[in-house]
Amino acid sequence: MAVLSREALLAVILIVVLIAPAHADVVWLKSGDRVSGNVDSLDSSTLRIDTEWGGVLLIKRDAIASIDTERELNLELPDGERTTARLQVDDEGRQVVVDDAGERPLNVAVIQQASVNALTGRPKDRWESRLTYGLNISDGNSDTESHALRAHSLLRRGAFRHAVNADVDLKKDDGNTTRELYRVGYQLDWFFQDDWYAFGSSEYFQDKLREVDYRVTLGLGVGYQFWDTSLGAFSVESGISEVIEKVGGESDNNRAFRLGADYNRFFMGKRLELFHRNEVLVLAERDRGELLQTSTGLHYALNSFLSTNVRIDFDHETEPAPGRKKSDVTYIIGIGFTW
């Protein structure tokens, strides 16, 4: 059995390294330097790349000369053109885009945005969770203490997506409870086509100060995912719900038509996130009217784990319990933890 000499072994290793695929994206800078890793997104100001040696790096867009990617990205080009393509550098050092239409020259400056996950097709499996907490305590002319806790967890596995949400909102003014809200929900989505999904949902809600002893909502319906990329997501859904509640001391069951929307968008290399979620329940019984809840806000990432956030929650009932206001607006400033 032949034994390779040390020099021959090193030569073989060198050849393997040279011919093996790099399996990494490369960002070439105008300074002549280059950064290797996995490109996550490119927005109007910043490119975000995940490197093995330095973690997530943010590179200013105007410092980039060209980009070479191993995998396809979502590209939004001038005049609203969208394509799924690879960015490459040709033999002459020019930036080109390679998609189903072939290869064509492209200046990085004209790319409106780029993100991971195909424009159509199922996004990759993932699990992400976020916990946000807001605290306000004042002591003086008035004695106020408020706590706002929100937890959200999303698990994507193949054609199924699981989402769990929980909200707790408590407030005391001069020793009197002026806010006590609890909400917990779960939804299962099944993507039977690339963008269409069927869902089943359940939610428990309680707000005793508005005399909602309990409200259980069970729903079925369909939704459409307009996009779900590394730069954000947007979906709408509608369906039929069964609303089981006790309001103002009276128990009731109602059918309802449900319409919901969920939107989020990242900016500044994904350090800033804008989000908006809303749900409308149109109850079949005219005396009950409609129920509306929305949540709109911003998250600003201080690092990969910690963020600050501000949000506005709005709850509205067209026919609340006697003597209660129709709307509640809550302003929350706090911190968030993401993993």
What is the average per-residue pLDDT within 117-134? 74
Check pLDDT > 50 for residue 14: no
272-315: pLDDT as tens digits: 999 999 999 999 887 778 999 999 999 999 887 899 999 999 99
CATH 2.40.160.40 fits 126-338, yes or no: yes
Residue-level pLDDT at 15: 46
Higher pLDDT, 335 or 194: 335
**Residues of each domain in the chain carrying CATH 2.40.160.40:** 126-338
Q: Is the pLDDT of residue 94 over 50?
A: yes
**pLDDT of amino acid 131:** 93
Q: Binning pLDDT at 50, 70 and 90, where does residue 20 land?
A: very low
Label residue 71 left, alpha or beta by phi (over 0 means left) and psi (-120 to 50 means alpha).
beta
Q: How many residues does the chain have?
A: 339
Residue 168 in this model has a pLDDT that exceeds 90: yes
Indicate the pLDDT class of residue 125, thresholds 50, 70 and 90. confident
pLDDT of residue 122: 54
Per the CB < 8 A criterion, the answer to whether 239 and 220 are in contact is: yes
261/170: higher pLDDT: 261
Element (H, E) at 206: strand 196-207
Contact, 178 vs 171, CB < 8 A? yes
Residue-wise pLDDT tens digits, 190-249: 999 889 999 999 999 999 888 899 999 999 999 999 988 888 899 999 999 999 999 888
Single pTM value for the model: 0.76
What is the per-residue pLDDT for 123? 61
Tell me how far apart the alpha carbons of residues 174 and 330 are, in angstroms, rounded to a whole number: 19
The confidence band for 80, taking pLDDT boundaries of 50, 70 and 90, is confident
